[in-house]
């Protein structure tokens, strides 16, 4: 069984594994994920436009479908 140290105040510049930040993912990968998400939302919005227009026209004509 592993002994967990008690929560203590660490000095400034402490290099223990609890104080050092974890290595994050690659920045390029994060930017690629963000760009892909934006592209997918843009495509979804463009595909939804005709349906929104059709719904608005049907509502204006009084068609209850």
pLDDT per position as a tens digit, 53-65: 999 988 887 755 5
Residues 2-29 have a mean pLDDT of: 70
14 secondary structure, DSSP code? -
Q: Please, what's the b/e burial string for 32-51 (b: 16 or more CB within 10 A of its CB; e: otherwise)?
A: eeeeeeeeeeeeeeeeeeee
Percent of the chain clearing pLDDT 70 (strictly above) = 72
What span, in angstroms and rounded, lies between the C-alpha atoms of 32 and 15?
Answer: 32
Give the pLDDT band (50/70/90) at residue 51: very high
pLDDT value of residue 5: 58
Tokens of 65: 């479908």
Of the CA atoms within 13 Å of residue 22, those in its CB half-sphere come to 2
Token match 């939804």: residue?
A: 48
């Amino acid at each position: 069984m592993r002994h967990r140290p008690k929560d203590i105040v660490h000095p400034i510049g402490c290099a223990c594994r609890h104080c050092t930040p974890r290595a994050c993912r690659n920045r390029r990968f994060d930017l690629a994920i963000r760009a892909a998400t934006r592209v997918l939302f843009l495509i979804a919005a463009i595909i939804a436009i005709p349906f929104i227009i059709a719904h608005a026209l049907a509502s204006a004509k009084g068609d209850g479908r």
